A = this chain, B = another copy of it.
Amino acid sequence: LKHFERDCERLSRELFTIGGLVEEATAGAVRALVERRRELAEQVIQGDRVIDSREVELEEHCLKVLALHRPVAIDLRFILAVLKVNNDLERMGDQAVNIAERALALVDQPPLALVLDMAAMAAQVQQMVRKSLNALVQHDVTEARQVRRLDDEIDELNRRLYVVVRDLVLETPTAIERALSILSVSRNLERIADLATNIAEDVIFLVEGEVVRHRRGD
């Protein structure tokens, strides 16, 4: 039993490491966009390989723990949650890469004031990622529920941005490509927020056995 707990702690640590890399990638990609820094965008794109290989490693470690201890009930559910969250983190990393690619495309074009909204949104999304991992490892349902609330705010930010972008294009049609790039970034951030929300909902399920993920009319 002791062994199993020690192994779980190691898996949790690995998950936090990957989560940290994902947060860094998200922050870096958005900073590259706002500060128009090509080299920072390229760094994020390169760095995704590290996230990818960490994901593969952690998956192998989970399989080993499953094969070795053959856990049941809550212990089994925890390992399965780690596997799922691991996969979600990797997908978040891909979204950060998408943002970095948009940042690269926008470096050569005249700046749009709109990018500033992305910085605020990114800060909130990062907070959601961190909180969702904390909630998982601490089995903290209160923190998990906070993540779901923050996700509603992100959706609202996105809706407002849509209106701003639409009005910009109606006024200045030639800004269409830049406008689409910004919308794409906001959608990438929304996807990261959704994945963090998935994690939070898995935590609630893990702890309370209550399926909340299909409650909202998402």
A residues near B (Cβ < 8 Å) are: 49, 52-53, 56, 63, 66-67, 70, 72-73, 76-77, 80, 83-84, 87, 94, 97, 162, 166, 169-170, 173-174, 176-177, 180, 183, 187, 211, 214, 218
A interface SS class: helix
Residues of B within 8 A of A56 (CB): 211, 214
A80-B80, A80-B83 provided; 18 other pairs, C-beta below 8 A?
Answer: A49-B214, A53-B214, A56-B214, A63-B80, A66-B76, A67-B72, A67-B73, A67-B76, A84-B87, A166-B176, A166-B177, A169-B169, A170-B173, A170-B174, A170-B176, A173-B173, A176-B176, A187-B187
Interface centre among A83, A84, A97, A176 (most CB of B within 10 A): A176
Residues of B within 8 A of A169 (CB): 169, 173, 176
Residues of B within 8 A of A52 (CB): 214
Q: Give complex CA distance A187, B173 in Å.
A: 22
Residues of B within 8 A of A162 (CB): 180
Q: Give complex CA distance A146, B186 in Å.
A: 32
Q: Give complex CA distance A166, B173 in Å.
A: 9
Q: Give complex CA distance A214, B218 in Å.
A: 29
B177 touches A180 (CB 8 A): no
Residues of B within 8 A of A70 (CB): 70, 72
| For the complex of A and B, 7 pairs with smallest distance between CB atoms | A52-B214, A173-B173, A70-B70, A169-B176, A67-B72, A56-B211, A170-B173
